[in-house]
Amino acid sequence: MAEKEARSIDQATLEMIEKASQDGARVVFERAETTRACPIGQEGSCCSICAMGPCRVMAPKGKEETLEERRKRVGVCGATPETISARNFVRKIAAGTASHGDHGRVIANFFLSVAKGEAPGYQIKDEMKLLQLAMDFGIPIGDRTNEEIAIDIGKLMVNEFGKQEGELLFLKRAPLKRQKLWRDLGVAPRGIDIEVAEAMHRTHMGTDQDYKDLLESGVKVALADGWGGSMIATELQDIIFGTPQPVLSQINLGVLKEDDVNIIIHGHEPQLAEMLVRVAQDPEMIEYARSKGAKGINLAGMCCTANEMLMRHGEPVAGNFLQQELANVTGALEAMVVDVQCIMQGLVDTAKCYHTKIITTDARAKIQGATHMLFDERNAFESTKAIVRAAIDNYVNRGKNVRIPKYSSPMVAGFSHETINYLMGGMFRASYRPLNDNIINGRIRGVAGVVGCNNPRTLHDAGNLEMVKELIKNDVLVLQTGCMAMASAKAGLMVPEAAAKYAGPGLASVCEAVGLPPVLHLGACIDNSRILIAATAMVKEGGLGDDISDLPVAGAAPEWMSEKALAIGQYVVGSGIFTVFGVNWPTVGNKEVSEYLFKDMESRYGGMWAFEPDPVKAAQLMIAHIDKKRKALGIDQARERVLYDMAMRRALES
Ligand code: NFS
């Protein structure tokens, strides 16, 4: 058991790992033990981009290398370890940007279909955001219908992907100083696809072979994610599906129900999920479920699609990335419906031990052994009904080996840039002023974004929890997305009462005054763009410098695993924010490349990377950076005075 406990701190997860091993079902935790990570690939010292290799160029460990030895430590083509390391790093960023970009492109085209009335069942939900975007882009409003305006916006957004020259439109949202910096450094992206294609070309055998130049191109392609693909996805999804507002829900495998047809939707793009929410409530479908002996239909989410449904509908969340196969292990899941990204192929093998149907729904992502049922946006209601019907039909196949862990936690989610603005400032004077004032007076020391995946190479959920607790204890307000948001929610950090329990006195006093949890859920990974917008809003509000890099803020991904996480990290650093990653670091085998990312980037971008696998130490690095920024702003004194006041107050009370 001691060994099993080393896999997760989440009781529901531990219980299901145990059940999996009793049932003979293999899950990710076990595979991570039997399939060891390749140490050469892990440190970024293997080049496999041509057939003269793969070439392994590791530095000798524990001894000084002579110049002659160093000269020989190159690939067959002569590529230096720096080139190889940087090339690998940039390729990963390009893949991450491509993934978020492809999501954004699908959403932009879908948005256009909705506007043209070609996707029945969907309509524009957030008119205010639509009009705001139209004004941002100079699209005439007048007495035109929302749909006419949306067609113009949709065309403009679709065009961002294939644009060949100029600059991405959303760059204009960044502080002016940041925009100028990007232009001066030559990293302002022209379009989204072009930057991905160029990064793939630069990293092809025999093209860009100057590691610094390669790493700069990594910033350019990453910015095309954060201020491009991801931001387009978030903005357009908000307009079609609604901008999130605070909402109460439940999280963990305990949200599955013994007597219902359980359906989990897992993946990233919310079109199908939105329709599932509707179809699962359809009386005809509920009646059909009853005809098979179930009490009803229970819909829950997994991974980032869960976040999308949670944010807008308060739908329950079954778990984060490492829990996906464990949902099958409950024996109570009729269908795991998936689309794209973060879907483990292992789901199919695990499902074989139970009755769960794995249903793929996207033409870009089929899985051998799964059932493919293509979701058609233009016939959304009917094609979703077919999926739900298949799940219901599977209910009769449920076996006796059912155990749903009794763990689920309440959470408040649904924070967006707009809701933070509103909650802080109030309906009639929505503004970031109170947030900035509380940062200036030191009640809030700074703001941290803690985001990203789970990774079985580190204790599940623990990196997040230790980091977030350390941050809020030190009065740092934490903004979260993705699987890390879920880790905090499971541990009870996303309810207002958590402020009194875990936050430092300054942060707790602000949270209590506004009724906020000390840890705010901003949505899916794509919604890290909300953090960029929030940071920009803080700059524009005034009093905290004139660029994002002046703000007392920091970012982290303590349990990251995906290429998307690297793209996110690089655009956050390129936007001026110090960012620390845990688990392992993809350029750790190369000193020069790591130095560039950890140190040199600061002089160019005002933000830089760090690697620290110990989550508490990583949190302390973030706090030290926040304090450095406070000092530069001249607000470090204010903080000390507030602490003195607190001490005085306590003395008075006693
Ligand atoms: Ni983002 Fe990682 Fe995946 Fe979401 Fe979860 S693993 S980079 S958090 S589900 S995208």
pLDDT digits (tens, 9 = 90+) for 73-103: 999 999 999 999 999 999 999 999 999 999 9
What residue type is 327 in one-letter code? A
Q: In what order do the strands lie in the sheet with 553-557?
A: 519-521, 476-480, 446-450, 553-557, 578-581, 609-611
Of 161, 157, 218, the C-alpha closest to 194 is 161
Report d(CA 305, CA 266) in Å as an integer.
6
How far apart, in whole angstroms, are the C-alpha atoms of residue 359 and residue 398?
Answer: 16
487 lines ligand 1 (CB under 6 A): no
pTM: 0.95
What is the pLDDT at residue 559?
98
Q: For residue 401, give the nearest of 358, 354, 442 by alpha carbon.
A: 354
CA 535 to chain centre: 16
Tokens describing residue 483: 């699987």
Distance (Å, whole) CA 303 – CA 525:
9
The terminus-to-terminus CA distance of the chain in angstroms comes to 46
What pLDDT was estimated at residue 429? Answer: 66
**In this predicted structure, which of 418-427, 569-578, 616-625 has the lowest mean pLDDT?**
418-427
Q: Which residue has the higher pLDDT, 647 or 511?
A: 511
CA of 482 to the centre of ligand 1 (A): 5
Q: Amino acid letter at 379?
A: N
Integer-rounded Cα Rg, in Å, for the chain is 24
Q: Which atom of ligand 1 is nearest to the CA of 451?
A: 8
Measured in angstroms, how far is the CA atom of residue 373 from the centroid of ligand 1?
24
Q: Which of 450, 562, 566, 570 to mutate to test the pocket of ligand 1 (most atoms within 8 A of CB)?
A: 562
Is the CA virtual torsion 234, 236, 239, 242 positive or negative?
Answer: negative
Q: What is the pLDDT of residues 578-616, one digit of tens each?
A: 999 999 999 999 999 999 999 999 999 999 999 999 999
Residues 244-290 have pLDDT tens digits of 999 999 999 999 999 999 999 999 999 999 999 999 999 999 999 99
What average pLDDT does this structure show over 561-572?
98
Percentage, residues of the chain above pLDDT 70: 96
Q: Work out the average pLDDT over 478-489.
A: 97
Confidence label for 652 from pLDDT (cuts 50, 70 and 90):
very low
Residue 237, CB-side half-sphere exposure with 13 Å CA sphere: 32
pLDDT (0 to 100) of residue 138: 95
> At 638, is the pLDDT very low, low, confident or very high (cuts 50, 70, 90)?
low
Please state the length of the chain.
654
Pocket test for ligand 1, best of 305, 307, 321 (most atoms within 8 A of CB): 321
Q: In the predicted model, what is the mean pLDDT of residues 428-453?
A: 91
Residue owning tokens 């603005």: 421
Q: Rounded to whole angstroms, how far apart are CA atoms 370 and 209? A: 42
Percent share of the chain, pLDDT over 90? 92
Q: What is the mean pLDDT of residues 505-526?
A: 94
CB atoms within 10 A of CB 135: 11
- pLDDT of 426 reads 61
Across the range 458-463, mean pLDDT stands at 97
Is 68's pLDDT higher than 60?
yes
Contact 96, 567 (CB under 8 A): yes
Q: What is the DSSP track for 436-502?
A: HHHHHTTSS-EEEEE-----TTS-BTHHHHHHHHHHHHTTEEEEE-HHHHHHHHHTT-SSTTHHHHH
Average pLDDT over residues 510-533: 94
Above 80 in pLDDT, residue 535? yes
- SS3 helix, strand, coil % of the chain, rounded to 5? 55, 10, 35
Q: Are 229 and 273 in contact (CB under 8 A)?
A: no
Structure tokens at 182: 């990007």
Task: Say which residues have a Cβ less than 8 Å from residue 513's Cβ, sequence separation at least 6.
Answer: none
CA–CA separation, 523 vs 416, rounded Å? 8
| Centre of ligand 1 from the C-alpha of residue 525, in Å | 6
Evaluate: CB of 327 within 6 angstroms of ligand 1: no
How many angstroms is it from 526 CA to the middle of ligand 1?
Answer: 9
The domains located in the chain, with CATH, are 81-241 (1.20.1270.30), 253-397 (3.40.50.2030), 429-633 (3.40.50.2030)
| Residue of 307, 324, 347, 564 with the most ligand 1 atoms within 8 Å of its CB, for mutation | 564
Give me the pLDDT at residue 16, please.
97
Which atom of ligand 1 is least distant from the CA of 565? 7
d(CA 201, CA 195): 10
Q: Given a cut of 90, is residue 651 above it in pLDDT?
A: no
- Does the C-beta of 523 come closer than 6 Å to ligand 1? no
The band of 418, judged by pLDDT with boundaries at 50, 70 and 90, is confident
The response to whether residue 340 sits with its C-beta less than 6 Å from ligand 1 reads no
221 φ/ψ angles, rounded to the nearest 5 degrees? -70, -35
Atom of ligand 1 nearest to the CA of 557: 7
pLDDT of residue 234: 97
514 or 241, higher pLDDT: 241
Give DSSP secondary structure letters for 365-421: B--TTSEE----GGGHHHHHHHHHHHHHHGGGG--S--------EEEEE---HHHHH
| Residue matched to tokens 């879908």 | 110
pLDDT of res. 1: 42
Closest C-alpha to 371, from 337, 404, 414 = 337
pLDDT band at 423 (very low <50, low <70, confident <90, very high): confident
Top pLDDT among 649 and 204 is at 204
Relative orientation angle of helices 193-202 and 211-224, to the nearest 10 degrees? 160
Paired sense of beta strands 519-521 and 553-557, if any: unpaired
**Rounded-to-integer distance, Cα 431 and Cα 421, Å:** 5
Predicted local confidence at residue 506, as pLDDT: 96
Residue 639 has pLDDT above 70, yes or no: no
Tell me the average pLDDT across 208-214: 98
Mean of the per-residue pLDDT values of the chain: 94
Residue 453 Cβ < 6 Å to ligand 1: yes
Query: Is the preceding peptide bond at 244 cis, omega within 30 degrees of 0?
Result: no
Nearest ligand 1 atom, CA 560: 2
Residue 313 Cβ contacting ligand 1 at under 6 Å: no
Residue 654: predicted pLDDT? 43
Question: How many whole angstroms from 232 Cα to the centroid of ligand 1?
Answer: 18
**If you average pLDDT over residues 222-228, what whole number do you get?**
98
The residues, ordered by sequence, that sit 6+ positions from 466 with a Cβ below 8 Å of its Cβ are 615, 616, 619
Q: Is residue 293 a contact partner of residue 426, using CB atoms and an 8 Å limit?
A: no
CA distances to 201, 254, 519 from 250, rounded to whole Å, are 45, 9, 16
Question: CA angle, 244 as apex, 238 and 249 as ends, to 5°?
Answer: 140
Distance 281 CA to ligand 1 centre (A): 28
Assess whether pLDDT exceeds 90 at residue 340.
Answer: yes
What's the whole-number mean pLDDT along residues 448-456?
97
CA 127 – CA 486 distance, rounded (Å): 30
